[in-house]
Structure 1
Amino acid sequence: MIHRSTFGTSARRDRIERIELSLSNGFSASVLSWGATLQSISAPDARGHFDSVVLGYTSLDDYRCAHGRLGATMGRYANRIANGRFEIDGVAYQVECNEGKHAIHGGPEGFDRRPWQVARIVDEPNGPQVRFELRSPAGDQGFPGAMVMAVTYALVPPGDVVITYEACTDAPTVFNTTNHAYFNLAGEGSGSVLDHEVTLFADRFLPVDDELIPLGEMRDVTGTVFDFREPKPLGRDIRSDDAQVRLGRGFDHCYVLSSSERSTTPRLAARVLEPTSGRTLEVLTTEPGLQLHSGNVLNGRYGGASGRAYRQSDGFCLEAQHFPNAPNVSHFPSTVLRPETVYRSMTVYRFGVDDTPRV
C-alpha cells in the first residue's frame, strides 16, 4: 500500500512529498522527496509491538536546519575528500569544502539538502516502491560532469527495506553515495543505543588522522577495540583510551568489506540486536565499505518525531559506501565514474526479531 501527502514547501517553493510504503503485515517505511530521505521505518519487536526504529523529524524546517543528515541520500561524494581536491586523468579539481578545509557529503549544498523528483511509484505484488531522481549540473559544488542520479526505496516482505542507487555522467567525475539513517532498535527517541549488540563482518578498518581523513592503511581489527566480529555492545569500548576512538569521539570509521570494487549481489556486512525489544537489523550491501558511526554528532538541539531531543549516541549509522578520500588514495577501490559506465549499487536493511530468552 502507498500513501502520498505534502510534507512542506522548500525555500524555492518546491512541494516536498512524504510517501508511506506499507506491507500487509504492518511493516512500513516513510520517505521524503527532500534529500530522498528515509524518515521512518516501523518494525515489530518480539512481542509484536511496532515502533519507528530510525531517527527522523516531523517538519521540513528541522531537516533543513539540523546538521545530522538524518536518513538522507548523500552525494555527490559521501564522506570526506581531503582538502576538497582530487585529480582525474591528470586534471586537478577543487570542490567546495564544508568541514574546515575538507569536503564532506558533497559540500555545503549536497544532495541531502535538495528536493528530488518523484519519478515513479509502483505497488508491485511483492511490495511497494518509490523512485526519486535528481539532476546535478556540471560544476555542481565544483564536481566535474553533469550527472543524473536515482534512488529507489522498495519494501520486500517480511521486513526488508531495499535501497537501489543508479547514476550516470557525461564526463569523468568521482561519485560515492550512501544512506545516512540513524537507527535505534529500541524505538526512535528511546535514548542511548550503546547497549545494542553489534556484529561487523569485516577483518579490517581504516584508521584516520586528527581530522578524520583515512591514513591510507587497512588495519587488522584483531586485538583492537574495533573488533566486532563477535557480537559486542556498541558502548563496551566507546570510552576506551584508544587513540582512534578519541579522534572520532567514539566510532566514526569505515570497515573494509572488500578491498576491490563493489560486488554484484548484496552480501551480509553487519548484524545488530537490541536485547530488550529483541529487534534485529541486518545490513547487506554491494559496497566495499561500511562506516560505523556511533551518533557522536547528535547534540540535543533538535527534537525528533517522539518529541524528545536526540543526544549523543541516541542513534547509530551503518553507512554502506566506498572508502572516504578514495579519490586521493590509489590503492582504495576507485570512485571514478565515466560516461560509458552506469553506477549501480544496492543496500538492504533487513529487520527481524530474536525472541531468545535472556537472563
Structure 2
Amino acid sequence: MSEFTPVVLSLKTTPSTELKLEVLPYGVTVNKFIVTKDGKSNDIVIGPEDPKGHVTQKYVNSIVGRFSNRIPVGTHAIERKGIKGEVIAYLNEGDAVSLHGGPVGWDALPWTITTTPQLFSEAEKAQIKALPEGSAAIFHLRSPAGDQGFPGTVDAEVLVALVPGFGETLGSAVIVYRAKLEEPNTVTPVNLTQHWGFNLDASLQDGPVTVQEHKLTIKADHIAELQPNSLPTHKFIPVSEVPAHAHAAKKIGEKMPHPGYDDYYLLAESLSSAALSTAPSRVPLEQLPTIDLIKDVLTPQTKAEKTIILSGEKSDLEIAFESNQRGTMFYSNAWGDAAKGARKKAHGGSGVPNAGDAYGPGTAAFIEYHHPIAAFLDPKNKDGEDTLITSDELYHNYVRCEVKVNAA
C-alpha cells in the first residue's frame, strides 16, 4: 500500500447517517473527516485535494512526534527515575526553535498498518475487534535511536477508530497513542498530538471559508506565557487576565488577537487530574498484559467531561473533545497563506496547488491536545508530568472527538 493511499474507516448508524475517515499511512494523516446526515455530507477538516499535497502542506491533520510543539535548539540533559540521557534538538524554525519533532518528524514518515499490535492488552484488542467492521485501524512506526536527536529506539502504535453515537450524537473519532522504548535503562521525551484543523461550515460553500463565526469553548484556566519566538517561559497566565483567551461559547473572531490564535491552554486542574486518574499518560510496562485504558473511550457515551466544544455558525454540526492530556494548543491557522498550497474542492477551492485559493488565516480551528510545551525542561515538572518515559514505562495518550447535530 502506498503511504498516500487512504485507509478508509466508516461507521453507518442509519441509512442516511455516516461518519467516514480517510487516514493516510503518511504521518497518520486524517485526509478527510466526512460527516453525512440526511444525505448531506460535510468534510470537517481542511487540507489539500491531492493526498500527496500533505508533503508540502505540513502539519495539516497529521500526527506530531516524537515531541509536539517547540523545544529550544541545543543539547538538553534529561533524567527520570535515576536514568540519564540527552536530547539534541535540531533547528527547523527561525534561529532557535526545534518544531514538532525536528526536521523530519513522525508527520513526514510512512507508518504501516498492523493487525498484530504489541502495545495493547488482550482485553483492549478484544474491544477493538468488537467495533463495527471497517471502523478501526492500528498504525505502527519504529523510530530508531538518535532519530532527530532523540535517545532510544521507540516503538509506537496509534489506534484510529470510529465509535457509535447516542442520542443526537452521530459518533466519535478516537485516536489512542501508545509508545515504548526498546533498549533497557533508557529515557526519552514523548509528547504526541494530532495536528488536525477543523472547519464545520466549509463544505457548505456559502461565503468565505472562515471559522471566525464558529463558537468555541475551552475549559482552561491558564495560557502559557510565550517568548517572541513561541518558546515557553514555563510560566502561565490566568485566562481571567486575558479576555481574548476566555473561550466560553465565544465566537473565535471576537476579541481575536492579530494575526490569530496560536496558544497553549492549560486545562482546569480538576478536569485534567480527573482524566489522568483514570487514563494515566504513563503506566508501568509490566502492567501491559492486564491494563484496560480504552474501555471507557470506546463506549458510545463516556463519563469524561468534554473540555473543548466547537460549533459551526452555518452548519448544524458541533464537535466536543476529551483527552487525558493537561492542555491543548488552539491554532486558528494564523500563519496560513492562501497563495501557498491547495484548498479542497469540497471547500470551494480549485484543488490546484499555489493557485491563490488555499487556506488563509482564520480558516480552521486546530485542536492539539498534549502536555505542556517543552515540559521536560521545566524543573517544576520533575518526576511529574514531565513527558519523559523510561524503558519500564508505556506511554498512553488519547483524544476523542464527538460529533453532534442540531447544536444549540
What TM-score comes out, normalization by structure 1 length?
0.87
Closer, same or farther: CA 304–84 of 1 in aligned 2, 3 Å: farther
Distance 2:321 2:235 in 1: 24
Gaps spanning 5+ residues in structure 2: where? Answer: 117-127, 166-170, 280-303, 346-350, 352-356
Backbone CA RMSD of aligned residues: 2.2
Gaps of 5+ in 1: 1-5, 9-14, 240-245
Q: How far does residue 153 in structure 1 lie from its aligned partner after superposition?
A: 0.5
Separation in 2, partners of 1:188, 1:210: 35
Among 12, 17, 21, the alignment partner of 1:29 is 21
Shift of 1:43: 1.4
Count, aligned residues:
334
Cα contact 1:267–1:286 (8 A) shared by 2: no
1:215-270 deviation per Cα after TM superposition (whole angstroms, max 9, x unaligned): 2112111142344342100011124xxxxxx5xx3211111126677713454220
Alignment of 1:1-40 (within 5 A): 8=2, 15-24=3-12, 25-40=17-32
Which segment drifts farther, 75-84 or 302-311?
302-311
Structure 2 matches for 1:212-291, cutoff 5 A?
Answer: 212-239=230-257, 249-257=259-267, 263=276, 264-265=278-279, 267-291=305-329
Structure 1 partner of 2:229: 211
Identify the range of structure 1 (90-99 vs 254-263) with the bigger mean alpha-carbon deviation. Answer: 254-263
CA contact (8 A) 1:189 1:310 kept: no
Alpha-carbon separation, structure 1, partners of 2:313 and 2:129: 34
Structure 1 position 346 matched with structure 2 position 356: no
Does residue 1:107 correspond to 2:95, yes or no? no
Deviation track 1:181-224 (CA, whole Å, cap 9, x = no partner) reads 11001135950111100001111111211011122112111142
- Say which SS state the counterpart of residue 314 (structure 1) adopts: coil
The AA in structure 2 aligned to 1:314 is T
Q: Does 1:183 align with 2:198?
A: yes
1:73 — aligned with what? Answer: 63
* Match of residue 387, structure 2, among 303, 316, 335: 335
Change (3 A) 1:213 1:278: same
When you count helix as a share of all residues, which structure comes out higher? 2
Question: What corresponds to 1:296 in structure 2?
Answer: 334
The match for 1:243 is none
How many angstroms apart in 2 are the aligned matches of 1:123 and 1:19?
Answer: 17
8 Å CA contact 2:85–2:151 kept in 1: the answer is: no
Summarize the Cα distance change of 1:52–1:108 in structure 2 as closer, same or farther, 3 Å threshold. Answer: same
- In 1, distance between residues paired with 2:42 and 2:112? 28
Q: Judging changes above 3 Å, is the alpha-carbon distance between structure 1 residues 59 and 123 closer, same or farther for their aligned structure 2 residues? A: farther
What's the CA shift for 1:26?
1.6
Deviates more, 1:71-80 or 1:117-126: 117-126
Distance 1:155 1:83, change over 3 A: same
1:296 alignment partner AA: A
Q: Could you tell me whether the CA contact under 8 Å between 1:162 and 1:349 is conserved in 2?
A: yes
SS in 2 for 1:179: strand
Tell me how far apart the structure 2 counterparts of residues 268 and 157 of structure 1 sit (CA, whole Å): 17
Query: What is the alpha-carbon distance in structure 2 between the residues aligned to residue 48 and residue 282 of structure 1?
Result: 23
Deviation readout 1:275-306 (Å, 9 max, x if unpaired)? 21121010110111111111112112111322
Instruction: Write the letter of the residue equivalent to 2:87.
Output: Y
* Percent of aligned pairs with the same amino acid: 25
Within 2, Cα distance between the matches of 1:65 and 1:85? 28
Give the deviation of 1:19 after TM superposition: 0.9
Equivalent residue runs for 1:19-98 within 5 Å: 19-24=7-12, 25-44=17-36, 49-67=40-58, 69-89=59-79, 91-98=85-92
User: 1:75–1:111: 8 Å Cα contact kept in structure 2?
Assistant: yes
What is the TM-score when the length of structure 2 is the normalising length?
0.77
Distance in 1 separating the partners of 2:75 and 2:373? 13
Helix, strand or coil for the counterpart of 1:154?
A: strand
Opposite residue 138 of structure 2, the aligned amino acid is R
Aligned to 1:166: 178
1:60 positional shift: 4.1
Distance 1:188 1:141 in 2: 38
Other-structure match for 1:130: 137
Tell me the distance in 2 between the aligned counterparts of 1:254 and 1:120: 35
Distance 1:92 1:132, change over 3 A: closer
Distance 2:73 2:402 in 1: 36
